[in-house]
Structure 1
Amino acid sequence: MSAPRLRSDTPERAGLDAGELRDLVREVHDLTTGERPWAAGTVVVAGRGPVIAVAEAAGWALRYASYDPETDTGVELPPENRVPMTVDTPFDLASLTKLFTSVAAVQQIERGTLGIDALVGAYLPDFRAAAEHGITVRQLLTHTSGLRPELPLYDCADDVARLARLRAEAPVGVPGTHCYSDLNMLLLQHVLERVTGRTLDVLVHEGITRPLGMTATDFGPCPDAAATEDQRRPWAKADRGMLRGAVHDENAWALGGVAGHAGLFSTGRDLAVFCRTLLAGGSYGPARILGPDFVELLLTPPGLGFALDQPWFMGELAGRGAAGHTGFTGTSLVLDPATDTFLVLLANTVHPRRRPPDSRPRAAAGTRVARAVRGRSRGGGRSPWPGGVRGA
């Protein structure tokens, strides 16, 4: 039996409060205004069940030519050269890529080609450190391997040196203790490629995006994407200039743009399909990418790749099993099985350069959606952003 596809309709048809969603749209627009906006541009897509009740874009996909460190401001392009944000603008997903790597792994667990508690060394005996320390697939998926957050693979001379460093990397923390690490997903990528004989981009395309009709989701380059950073030292780790359509993450870039932790580009509507598929137990239209039991495995605490019930970016959606993730470039998504709602908030917060992360606007958007669910509205029109609409 086919699972219903998403359709655009009114908030009322979705069982959501229209006033709260109007406030959500207004506040997301406000995030792109002022001398130092939270983001140059934003896209928000939100809904409940099979209904998209909000799909809105604000600001600019490309606003700045460069960053001026002397004035600590962006050098704006002439108005005729700027590119407005649209709901169909692709974004560099950054760490949202980890969710697709995790789903690809659970697909192999469902098929019996990968054991969730199997030793990584059983699949990758040449990854000596992981083998010697008994790292498991589950530990990679739950960020409990003890591996450090990242390695400067971008500083290695070539792919041979990068692979040698990754193979030799031993845990620095206590296995079983949570430490969020890009290296977990890089190792998981190598495990998946070894057990399937296919590269990660092929696994994601054939197993997730193609069956779901997510035609705007793929690894880069993606020339029409929202711009990210004027990437230069000392604030960045490489000197690449203003980036648009090339992956922002320096390690993913050094690895050729396809990496387990970063590299995917996508749109708000495509990510809504991804959320809806998981909320529907792994099916969308006639396609099934996971069985319901394996979606449950994916989203059971502590979550496999997904973060669960994190108010710092989910707001009041957190608390009853909400799952999601954020990305360094300004991306985020949340799906809440308890209310059958989803929220995708995409922003190019690193355009024209990276700043200290501020997820208060993400949390506030989550709170708006939570309050929009019928019977939970506490709105009264007040903004849930602490200290004002934009935050710091």
Structure 2
Amino acid sequence: MSLSRRAVIGGGLAAGTTLLTPLGLPVAASADDFDKPFTGFAPPSTVLREGTPASVGLDPAPIEVAKSQVRSHQVAAPGGKPLYPGHVGLMAHDGVVVATQVDGFALRYKNATEELPRDQWVPMRRDTIFDLASVSKLFTSIAVVQLIEEGRVELEAAVASYLPEFAAAGKESVTIRHLLTHTSGFTSWLPLYSKWPDRASRIAAVMNQPLTNPVGTVYLYSDLNLITLGVLVERLRGQSLDGVVASRLTGPLGMSDTGYNPSERDRTAATEYQSVPARGMVRGEVHDENAWSLGGVAGHAGVFSTADDLAILAQALLNGGTYRGARILDRKSVALLITNFNEDFPGDDHGLGFELNQTWYMDALSGHRTAGHTGYTGTSLVIDFASRSFAILLTNRVHPSRSWGSINVARQQWAGGLGRALPITPRGSHVAWETQSRHATNAVLSVPLALPASGARLGFDLVAETEETDVLRVESTSDGTTWTLVPLDIRHPGDTREGAEDGSVSGTPGERRWTQVRAELDGGTTAVRWRYTTDGNTLGRGVSVSRVRVVGQGGPVVDSDDSTATFAASGWTLTRRS
């Protein structure tokens, strides 16, 4: 553990320092705050252990809220259906598993509409094995990057140089990188299971498929990309994909409950009741029809795992590719996994196989160095390298039917709970206000003023980590009725960036450091406010404001550390470090 970041677990701040949660409860102080992101990997010796949020300086309150929210989705709203029968969730920070939750049922229904008798429901367990669906793509991607690391594959080489048959239908220029970043031009999906009779013809159909878009011109998520890479791994290794993953990834890491075609069917979470194809209640075999038709082993789907096994994988990546002395990738290869190769496609940030900075399921953990993936069956993995944290949520949301709805709200809540548990600490001994996590609201922090004709200068510290459609507006008024934007000068300490804003700030995922904001207030101003407006879609971490000062020609007019009571806050929470 790096003594430069934390001398001891829960330590690292000056003696006598106390961090208060929004409820005013003390928690263990930590240097690993949301606003102090790490830049490198965790020590390779880091091994997961059980602990509490407070033991590593996290606020337990947002985690408890997330637990309650995720549990609530197992209960149907009046006239509706539950989002999923059950779930297993796990959160970890800095090598410590700070939260787990196991609730609901791994098996509840006998068909698409009818429940089993109550005594036949199977409760979820912490070691329940889930069909990961598209989270499987990460395993294939790691297997490909291992080949790149060994020099057997080049990232920018044509796929056809390794799979000559792939050149069919004008795909000669598609590279390994295009497949890993979903910029190949491939269509999203083909009905392999129903249109072709056997594995050989199904693989041939992928190899012969023409591109829907010119290579490298669009981002289009496609199972065909990873099916192709699975074939490439098998061809170059001379071994089936499941064998490669077992011998080079899950085996070395000790992920004993992870693999394809699980043998312990009774430990698996049921997925969907399928009538077409006529599979009945799917349990213990892959849900994805194409992967099923390929024998349960495919580059895009087929991996089964548990929350604890995925935690090992996540920590191994945070450690730079190693866990308990077993190395699956070197540090440079892990860095490639989380390097955004899709800068030409804003909003579709993508490393090698890993999605990056996707607020729609990463929520308050989103950032430029946040990687993960989701699975159609109701699974998600979010790994935040900036805070050395990860959130795993495994559900059986397609049990008994895929038509019962999306679980993105639960994914957001689980990852968001961990993100909001990371404290934002004011620089120095100052108070701060932080927006509360609420959709479709106006959160307003205001302070009254009585400025002379000469006006005054406003200064404050700001952390703004928001999505594009959630906007902070700094506004002033001279009559208490009409509010106008205050132009802002935003400075980023430690680098040369400066920005002049019109008075609004938004679309800043990954901005985890305090910035300095300066502005001129007109004479006659009677109040200034910070108004944060959120929509009903997703949430970032939000906004924190500290060290507010208004200084006129005669000296200080407002100092937030000395005049907290003069501020009015709705939707903001006051925190204090002393």
How far does residue 321 in structure 1 lie from its aligned partner after superposition? 1.8
Amino acid at match of 2:356: L
1:326 and 1:332 in contact (8 A); partners too: yes
Alignment of 1:1-392 (within 5 A): 3-34=45-76, 36-67=81-112, 74-129=113-168, 132-155=171-194, 156-176=196-216, 177-222=218-263, 223=265, 224-233=267-276, 238-301=277-340, 302-355=350-403, 356-375=405-424
Equivalents in 2 of 1:137, 1:163: separation in Å? 18
Equivalents in 2 of 1:205, 1:334: separation in Å? 22
Cα-Cα RMSD: 2.1
Equivalents in 1 of 2:209, 2:437: separation in Å? 51
How far does residue 173 in structure 1 lie from its aligned partner after superposition? 1.1
Equivalents in 2 of 1:292, 1:273: separation in Å? 16
Summarize deviations over 1:8-55 as a string: whole Å, max 9, x none. Answer: 111112332111111121122112123611111011100101100111
In structure 2, the CA distance between the partners of 1:78 and 1:132, relative to structure 1 (3 Å rule), is: closer
Partner of 1:374, secondary structure, is coil
Higher helix share: 1
Residue segments in structure 1 that go unaligned for 5+ positions in a row: 68-73
Higher RCO (CA-CA < 8 Å; seq separation 6+): 1
1:94 and 1:331 in contact (8 A); partners too: yes
Equivalents in 1 of 2:366, 2:186: separation in Å? 27
Q: How many residues are aligned here?
A: 378
Equivalents in 1 of 2:133, 2:434: separation in Å? 33
Equivalents in 1 of 2:184, 2:207: separation in Å? 14
Identity of aligned residues (%): 44
Summarize deviations over 1:48-94 as a string: whole Å, max 9, x none. Answer: 01100111111100011111xxxxxx311112111001111010000
Summarize deviations over 1:214-252 as a string: whole Å, max 9, x none. Answer: 11101013512100000124xxxx221111111000000
Partner of 2:184, secondary structure, is coil
TM-score w.r.t. length of structure 2: 0.63
Equivalents in 2 of 1:212, 1:50: separation in Å? 16
1:188 and 1:260 in contact (8 A); partners too: yes
How far does residue 303 in structure 1 lie from its aligned partner after superposition? 0.6
Partner of 2:91, secondary structure, is strand
Amino acid at match of 1:336: D
Partner of 1:76, secondary structure, is coil
Amino acid at match of 1:27: Q
TM-score w.r.t. length of structure 1: 0.92
How far does residue 116 in structure 1 lie from its aligned partner after superposition? 0.7
How far does residue 367 in structure 1 lie from its aligned partner after superposition? 1.5
How far does residue 380 in structure 1 lie from its aligned partner after superposition? 6.2
Larger Rg: 2
Partner of 1:52, secondary structure, is strand
How far does residue 316 in structure 1 lie from its aligned partner after superposition? 1.5
Summarize deviations over 1:95-139 as a string: whole Å, max 9, x none. Answer: 000001001111110111111111111111123427743211111
